[in-house]
């Protein structure tokens, strides 16, 4: 934006500053000079030449309000006319002040090249006049000095105005950037609040609903205990998020002690390793401190998802394939939050009487996390309301790593992102996340070049 201001200054003519008040002042000044000449009998108005001598010297002031270009051209014409007048004429001395004012405005308002051309033409005329009329040399020297001072004053005013415009443009650009930052912060905060609150509240709502339908006191007590744990976890995560925002932390922690991945990834949340299991919260439990630890965390979290769903009454088939050690640590949090989101969606939409398939596959060049379930009957009250923010959040995180998220009916020609509630009871619904593994490609390329695969993998992770 600042470059655009400077580029415009090189190509555009400024209007006369001050608006109509200054333009009126210029015309008034010219008229005042003319009235002064009439009152002091400097000119003889009995002859046409007298009127000519009265008007011509002050034409630059009278035409400047029309435009700076018109004023600059008029100044050159007036200078030539006054230099052609007889030596005893007072036209030149009367025209000095108006010409100097016009020179200052020309230096201020004309584009750079036009201002240089005007200045060169004016001083060339001065030099030619000095050569043709040596007797007026002191006048020409005085005009040269005062003209240079007038041009310097105009250039200084132009420089000040340009810097002011650049500063104004910079302030406007900074305001736009700040507004964009605020928008992005709101979006990030909305995503964090969704991760912190939505999952825990969904777990509480669905478990409370299922507890109403149970007649077994032991199972009901277990569900109520889980509801209390989820509520405590949600409160703890909200406090952590408030503390994070209050401290104006620039980066979100990728992992916290006890296997907590970030605000909203509490140990008692659905899918968190150790939720309701022995060893939860022990130092290092599920803490992604390296490749092996990240792989162990992914496995433990998937098993925890399956265990939570089974406790909620869903039959689960868990399938893990491939070498999880190849999953980069940077992908771990995306995988962790996506697991929780998919597990929560099962609680919200799935039919508890049908098998839920949870599958994680680490392939040759990508990993895929997929959950397949049957859709519950919307009329049974088994589906919870949805804002559809979960799929959008998963897509946003996945796209950072060049991956994609798809959701739709199993066997359909085109994947659909509609809410499962609209597909009908008993339909199999599949949600999957696919992320490329550039580290795996690096390992294979290095191995083809003769490096041992384990060594190549270590070098890739260090890079």
pLDDT at 264: 37
In a domain, 210, yes or no: no
Which pLDDT value is given to residue 246?
A: 77
Share of the chain above pLDDT 90, in %: 20
The verdict on residue 275 lying in a domain is: no
Model confidence pLDDT, tens digit, residues 409-453: 876 544 444 444 444 556 888 999 999 987 544 434 334 333 444
Q: Point out the least confidently predicted range of 193-207, 241-255, 329-343.
A: 241-255
pLDDT for residue 337: 81
pLDDT at 298: 76
Is residue 270 a part of any domain in this protein? no
Q: Are 177 and 185 in contact (CB under 8 A)?
A: no
Last residue of a domain, one of 142, 157, 176: 176
Residue 256: pLDDT over 70: no
User: Quick one: average pLDDT of 170-177?
Assistant: 94
Provide the b/e sequence for 142-152 (b: ≥16 CB within 10 Å). Answer: ebeeebeebbe
248-253 average pLDDT score: 49
Its sign, for the CA torsion 241, 243, 245, 250, is negative
Residue 22 belongs to some domain of the structure = yes
Residue with tokens 């949090």: 333
- Count Cβ atoms below 10 Å from residue 265 Cβ, excluding itself: 25
**pLDDT confidence of residue 386:** 57
Residue 4's pLDDT is what? 52
Of the candidate ranges 135-149, 167-181, 220-234, the one whose mean pLDDT is the lowest:
220-234
Q: What does the block give as tokens for 322?
A: 């491939």
Q: What is the pLDDT of residue 7?
A: 52
- Say if residues 342 and 369 touch (Cβ distance below 8 Å): yes
Query: What whole-number distance in Å separates Cα of residue 427 and Cα of residue 123?
Result: 90
The pLDDT, as a whole number, for residue 8 is 52
pLDDT exceeds cutoff 90 at 179: yes
pLDDT digits (tens, 9 = 90+) for 356-388: 999 999 888 888 999 999 888 765 555 555 556
CB atoms within 10 A of CB 119: 20
Residue 262 lies in a domain: no
Q: Is the pLDDT of residue 72 over 80?
A: yes
pLDDT bracket for residue 221 (50, 70, 90): confident
Give a yes or no: residue 28 inside a domain.
Answer: yes
Q: Indicate the DSSP class of residue 13.
A: P
Point out the domain boundary residue: 140, 156, 176. Answer: 176
Q: Which of 176, 194, 221 is the last residue of a domain?
A: 176
Position 453 in a domain: yes
Residue-wise DSSP of 442-462: HHHHHHHTT--HHHHHHHHHH
> If you write DSSP's letter for every residue of 208-233 in order, what string do you get?
HHHHHH---HHHHHHHHHHHHHHHHH
> Across all residues in the chain, what is the average pLDDT?
76
Mean of the pLDDT values across residues 50-75? 91
Domains contained in the chain, number: 2
- Which segment of 178-192, 284-298, 323-337 scores lowest on mean pLDDT? 284-298
The pLDDT of residue 329 is: 79
Residues 325 and 446 in one domain: yes
pLDDT of the residue at 208? 81
- Residue-level pLDDT at 286: 38
The pLDDT assigned to 11 comes to 53
- What's residue 59's pLDDT? 92
Pairing assessment for the beta strands 428-436 and 404-409 based on DSSP bridges: antiparallel
Whether residue 14 is predicted with pLDDT greater than 60 in this model: the reply is yes
Radius of gyration of the chain (CA): 41
Q: Quick check: helix, strand or coil at residue 101? A: helix
Share of the chain above pLDDT 70, in %: 75
Model confidence pLDDT, tens digit, residues 258-277: 333 433 333 334 444 444 34
Please tell me which of 47-61, 179-193, 264-278, 319-333 the model is most confident about, judged by mean pLDDT.
47-61
Domain that holds residue 29: 2-176
- 318-330 per-position pLDDT tens digit: 998 888 878 887 8
Asked whether residue 43 is assigned to any structural domain, the reply reads yes
Q: What is the pLDDT of residue 331?
A: 83
400-418 pLDDT, tens digit per residue, is 888 989 888 876 544 444 4
Q: Which pTM value belongs to this model?
A: 0.49
Task: Say what the pLDDT of residue 381 is.
Answer: 52
If we measure between CA atoms, which residue out of 356, 228, 234, 232 comes closest to residue 302? 356
Q: CA-CA distance, 318 to 301, in Å (whole number)?
A: 11
Q: Residue holding tokens 């105005």? A: 161
Residue 138 has pLDDT above 90, yes or no: no
Outline where 266-381 has alpha helix (H). Answer: 291-311, 329-349
- For residue 211, pLDDT beyond 80: no
| 35 and 169, same domain (yes or no) | yes
| CATH code, domain with 298 | 3.30.565.10
Residue 293 has a pLDDT of 65
Q: What is the pLDDT of residue 132?
A: 84
């Amino acid at each position: 934006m600042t470059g655009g201001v400077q580029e415009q200054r090189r190509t555009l003519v400024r209007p006369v500053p001050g608006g109509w008040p200054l333009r009126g002042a210029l015309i008034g000044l010219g008229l005042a000079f003319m009235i002064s000449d009439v009152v002091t009998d400097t000119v003889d108005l009995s002859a046409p030449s007298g009127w000519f001598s009265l008007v011509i010297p002050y034409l630059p002031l009278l035409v400047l309000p029309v435009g700076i270009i018109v004023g600059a051209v008029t100044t050159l014409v007036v200078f030539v006319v006054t230099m052609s007048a007889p030596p005893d004429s007072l036209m030149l001395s009367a025209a000095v002040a108006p010409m100097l004012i016009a020179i200052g405005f020309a230096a201020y308002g004309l584009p750079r090249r036009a201002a240089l051309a005007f200045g060169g033409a004016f001083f060339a005329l001065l030099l030619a006049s000095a050569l043709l009329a040596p007797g007026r040399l002191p006048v020409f020297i005085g005009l040269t000095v005062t003209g240079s001072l007038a041009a310097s004053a105009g250039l200084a005013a132009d420089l000040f105005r340009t810097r002011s415009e650049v500063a104004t443009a910079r302030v406007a650009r900074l305001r736009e950037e700040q507004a964009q930052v605020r928008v992005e912060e709101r979006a990030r905060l909305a995503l964090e609040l969704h991760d912190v609150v939505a999952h825990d509240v969904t777990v509480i709502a669905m478990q409370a609903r299922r507890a109403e339908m149970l007649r077994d006191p032991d199972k009901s007590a277990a569900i109520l205990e889980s509801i209390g744990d989820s509520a405590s976890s949600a409160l703890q995560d909200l406090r952590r998020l408030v503390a994070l925002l209050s401290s104006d932390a620039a980066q979100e922690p990728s992992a916290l002690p006890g296997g907590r991945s970030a605000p909203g990834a509490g140990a008692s949340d659905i899918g968190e390793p150790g939720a309701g299991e022995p060893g939860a919260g022990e130092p290092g439990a599920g803490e992604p401190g390296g490749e092996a630890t990240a792989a162990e965390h992914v496995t433990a979290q998937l098993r925890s998802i399956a265990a939570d769903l089974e406790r909620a009454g869903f039959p689960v088939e868990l399938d893990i394939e491939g070498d999880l050690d190849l999953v980069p640590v940077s992908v771990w949090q995306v995988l962790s939050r996506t697991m929780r989101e998919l597990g929560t969606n099962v609680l919200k939409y799935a039919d508890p009487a049908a098998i839920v398939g949870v599958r994680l596959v680490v392939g040759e060049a990508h990993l895929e996390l997929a959950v397949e379930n049957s859709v519950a009957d919307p009329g049974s009250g088994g589906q919870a309301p949805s804002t559809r923010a979960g799929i959008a959040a998963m897509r946003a995180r996945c796209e950072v790593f060049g991956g994609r998220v798809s959701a739709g009916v199993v066997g359909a020609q085109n994947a659909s992102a509609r809410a499962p509630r609209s597909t009908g009871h008993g339909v199999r619904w599949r949600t999957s996340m696919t992320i490329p593994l550039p580290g795996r490609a690096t390992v294979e390329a290095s191995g083809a070049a003769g490096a041992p695969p384990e060594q190549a993998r270590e070098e890739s992770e260090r890079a």
